[in-house]
Structure 1
Amino acid sequence: MGSLQPRNDSLISTVPTDRKMPALDTAPNRPSDSSIVENFVLRSIMNRIFRSVKIVLFSDKINLLIPFGPLAIVVQNSSNQQGWVFILSLLGIIPLAERLGWATEQLACYTGDTVGGLLNATFGNATELIISMYAMKNGMLRVIQQSLLGSILSNMLLVLGCAFFSGGIVHHNKEQVFNKGTALVNSGLLMMAVMGLLFPAVLHFTHTELHAGKSELALSRFSSCVMLIAYGAYLYFQLTSQNNMYSPINEEDGNQDGNLVDEEAPRISRWESIVWLFVLTVWISALSEYLVNAIEGASVSLNMPIAFISVILLPIVGNAAEHAGAIMFAMKDKLDLSLGVAIGSSTQIAMFGIPFCVVVGWILGYPVDLNFQLFETATLFMSVIVVAFMLQEGTSNYLKGLMLLLCYLIVAASFFVHKDPKSVGEFLQCSIVYRGQIMLGLTK
């Protein structure tokens, strides 16, 4: 026992006490507190970005179609197969349009029902407006008219029909209801749009223009300005007087459901939603360039009329977001939100999209007018009448949805056998002549 004490003393004495504290104070490779915080913040940002990309791009099976977009660009640059470029571009835009609607829905969780319904309608139509602007740049004015007309028909008949049909199947044991007053307001705006499109067509086909070649275009531009004012008043009315326009009629019953909060909880933040809306819009714009350029070549290679491609195929792709959103809301028994997406989108295209293209064409020197030809105007008129009758009771079921879908099939078959009296090439020639007259001062 005695021999242990010196050994312990020697061990203690061999450790210099004056070197312990400096070793703790001056570590040469020790990271500073600021670098630790920076690394932590950087890792947090990267993890959040990876999580957002995973949720947006890898959380839905429809995203398997996203690679078709870059593939269309590769085919365009490596060969001249316009038919394949058109098909691949269509397939590539479908998931982007759906994701655009999904990001809009996420943002709508932070804005409320009214602003959310307007956002769904606005960004749901972004694809059509982008395609229209690029078609105007190429002078394909008939493509603008037919694609916007097809968007209205697709939203009114196909999207609303799918919503009514799916909601009626899921809730077959009860009658689904929606706000009849809101539906009637939208129906009235659609009838106003039909009136704006009807008079230039009648003026043209009855040959009763006061100034041949000028009165029709002047009437179209004046009517477009009036329609834009009416749509602005409609937006003001929605945002001020009718703050609960898109609130579900059975909101009290829905709040009793314990799962409602979980179903409506957003998966990404407000700013992430805004960033994704911008990214997806730019991506769609890039693909729309290839899509529009391939329309004429695809019409020849696929043996399809340009009218069928413009009125049926393009709007189906552009309305992918409306399809997903309207069906999902109907299956959750929120038909007012489904109407806000489907009928609200149709109203926005009819009262804002079409007049906006006419005014932009006026500014840029393109003779875009509201003369949609007699066949197309009559199709729109009959479709609005059918939808107005379906909405007048304020209730829906799967039978009404099935009838709307069958009406859309009739419209699609009609345009498949329809010969457009104005081909894209002829209308492009008229555009070039008209712009030449403006430059020479022959036309005011």
Structure 2
Amino acid sequence: MSSASSERTALLPNGDRRHFSESDNNFLQRTSLLFKTEGQPSHLASWKFFLFGSWINVLLVFVPLSIIAHNLDLDAALRFSFSFFAIVPLASLLGTATDEMSIKLGQTLAGLLNASFGNAVEIIVGIAALMQDQLVIVQNSLLGSVLSNILLVLGCSFLAAGFKFPESNFQVTAAQASSSLMTLACITLVIPAAYYSTKSSGNAFMDPHTNAITNMDPERLSGLLIISRGTAILLLVVYVAYLYFQLKSHAYLFTADDEGQEEETPNMNIVSAAAALLIVTVITAFCADYLVASIEEFADRYHIPKPFIGLILLPIVGNAAEHVTSIWMALKGQMELTIGICVGSSIQIAAFVIPLLVIIGWISNHELTLFFANFETIAFFASVFLVNTLIQDGKSNYMEGLMLITLYLVIALAFWVS
């Protein structure tokens, strides 16, 4: 075979012709797969969709306002409010970028990406509060995210679907597997509380405003830290196994019926989506830091309980986009997706984010534990028990949604007066 037959001629954009060998051509083909934009939206179209694709992005105006308020040291209410509303669209944009990347990455990588960035706001707010020794904010915001998802969001979804359909059905085996893991995570929070109640000295108590353990025997406190950190490692192992169970070995249980559904097409190319994910994560970190820094003064000046801020207000920020998506999916009759959003996000918080922050606290010398006060533990246990009871039959209706919302409002009322 002549050398000419093993070469190909390419016409470059400037009109020149260049010869490529077969090996060069194969290399270029492999390289182009990493940055290929053919058949994908252009960078301009991608960023246009990213910034103007949702009405909620109007709230991005609060991002510069949050920065200005923080640097000018304005009133605590302004600093808190601006940062609060700034994180709402940022949380939505994080979800958008993650979803757009997931379309091109395949099921396994998409699952890992969603596991990592699905609760990015909670992780960022948690780390910011942890570094400022705001342990009560860390614990209550994470617990509040779980309760918000399994009670408020799931309840609103059941209620909305109940007005359109007399009864909605979903895959009961997958729902039970997810709720069982939630139960395990709940039990792991009960054990440290039980240890504290039975082993702490008579003078030890938990400050309701700081969640700090006061006057506790150092040996007992050390035991509590060992239990929490060891449990955190075990929960992370179980969560990895759950990802394999969900994405590989038993993926068919978590797959909704695709009949009649069109194949999802990306609105952003993968390079733009990755860049957007990185940029928004950095901006969210700054806004979260401003938000946490303003909580102390905001709570004291306006007499708002810090547990209420952490358990009720902050989860609304992180879960705003999920609230809308879950209810929309329920109205379309896609209850498997609704369960996946609500319960799946709660599992990520309870079995991944909380243990992760405990380990980060361990590394950074912050004594964050899995010990929650008795009231928080009881509220969490009661919520998981009710959810397990309602989804075990694989059916839902508006009455079940009303019950979930009622329990959430009762818990919110109790934390308001705490």
| Residues 111-130 of structure 1: pairs in structure 2 closer than 5 A | 111=105, 116=110, 119-120=113-114, 122-130=116-124
Distance 2:400 2:265 in 1: 31
Distance 2:142 2:243 in 1: 20
Higher Cα Rg: structure 1 or 2? 1
Distance 1:54 1:154 in 2: 32
Give the equivalent residue in structure 2 for 1:71: 65
2:100 and 2:266 in contact (8 A); partners too: yes
Deviates more, 1:104-113 or 1:264-273: 104-113
1:114 and 1:244 in contact (8 A); partners too: no
Percent identical pairs in the alignment equals: 39
Distance 1:201 1:301 in 2: 32
Give the equivalent residue in structure 2 for 1:167: 161
Length, aligned pairs only: 369
| Residues 269-284 of structure 1: pairs in structure 2 closer than 5 A | 269-284=269-284
Distance 2:327 2:266 in 1: 18
User: Aligned with 2:191: secondary structure?
Assistant: helix
Deviation readout 1:52-83 (Å, 9 max, x if unpaired)? 22211112211111101210111122233111
- AA at the equivalent of 1:223: T
Give the equivalent residue in structure 1 for 2:192: 200
Is residue 343 from structure 1 mapped to residue 343 from structure 2 by the alignment?
Answer: yes
Distance 2:106 2:386 in 1: 31
Match of 2:259 among 255, 260, 266: 255
Is residue 155 from structure 1 mapped to residue 163 from structure 2 by the alignment?
Answer: no
**Counterparts in 2 of 1:208 and 1:305: CA distance versus 1, 3 Å:** closer
**Counterparts in 2 of 1:108 and 1:328: CA distance versus 1, 3 Å:** farther
**Counterparts in 2 of 1:302 and 1:409: CA distance versus 1, 3 Å:** same
Give the equivalent residue in structure 2 for 1:107: 101
Give the equivalent residue in structure 2 for 1:352: 352
User: Aligned with 2:251: secondary structure?
Assistant: coil
Distance 1:274 1:379 in 2: 38
**Counterparts in 2 of 1:60 and 1:269: CA distance versus 1, 3 Å:** same
What TM-score does the superposition give when structure 1 sets the normalisation length? 0.77
Match of 2:49 among 55, 67, 79: 55
**Counterparts in 2 of 1:414 and 1:235: CA distance versus 1, 3 Å:** same
Give the equivalent residue in structure 2 for 1:439: none
Unaligned runs of 5+ in 1: 1-31, 37-43, 419-444
Is residue 308 from structure 1 mapped to residue 308 from structure 2 by the alignment?
Answer: yes
Distance 1:415 1:159 in 2: 19
Distance 1:176 1:242 in 2: 23
2:107 and 2:247 in contact (8 A); partners too: no
- AA at the equivalent of 1:309: I
Match of 2:14 among 30, 34, 48: 34
| Deviation for aligned residue 1:113 | 6.3
2:43 and 2:269 in contact (8 A); partners too: no
User: Aligned with 2:262: secondary structure?
Assistant: helix
Distance 1:275 1:230 in 2: 31
Is residue 241 from structure 1 mapped to residue 249 from structure 2 by the alignment?
Answer: yes
| Deviation for aligned residue 1:183 | 1.0
Is residue 320 from structure 1 mapped to residue 324 from structure 2 by the alignment?
Answer: no
1:114 and 1:246 in contact (8 A); partners too: no
- AA at the equivalent of 1:52: S
| Deviation for aligned residue 1:165 | 2.1
Distance 1:221 1:347 in 2: 18
Distance 2:58 2:298 in 1: 24
Distance 1:35 1:149 in 2: 62
| Residues 377-416 of structure 1: pairs in structure 2 closer than 5 A | 377-416=377-416
Deviation readout 1:21-44 (Å, 9 max, x if unpaired)? xxxxxxxxxxx96299xxxxxxx9
- AA at the equivalent of 1:195: I
| Deviation for aligned residue 1:121 | 5.2
Give the equivalent residue in structure 2 for 1:438: none
**Counterparts in 2 of 1:114 and 1:184: CA distance versus 1, 3 Å:** farther
RMSD of the TM alignment (CA)? Answer: 2.5
1:184 and 1:388 in contact (8 A); partners too: yes
1:136 and 1:144 in contact (8 A); partners too: yes
Is residue 227 from structure 1 mapped to residue 228 from structure 2 by the alignment?
Answer: no
**Counterparts in 2 of 1:139 and 1:405: CA distance versus 1, 3 Å:** same
Deviates more, 1:329-338 or 1:204-213: 204-213
- AA at the equivalent of 1:224: A
Match of 1:184 among 155, 176, 190: 176
Distance 1:332 1:183 in 2: 19
Distance 2:291 2:155 in 1: 27
- AA at the equivalent of 2:68: V
**Counterparts in 2 of 1:384 and 1:185: CA distance versus 1, 3 Å:** same
**Counterparts in 2 of 1:107 and 1:61: CA distance versus 1, 3 Å:** same
What TM-score does the superposition give when structure 2 sets the normalisation length? 0.82
Distance 2:181 2:398 in 1: 26
2:145 and 2:311 in contact (8 A); partners too: yes
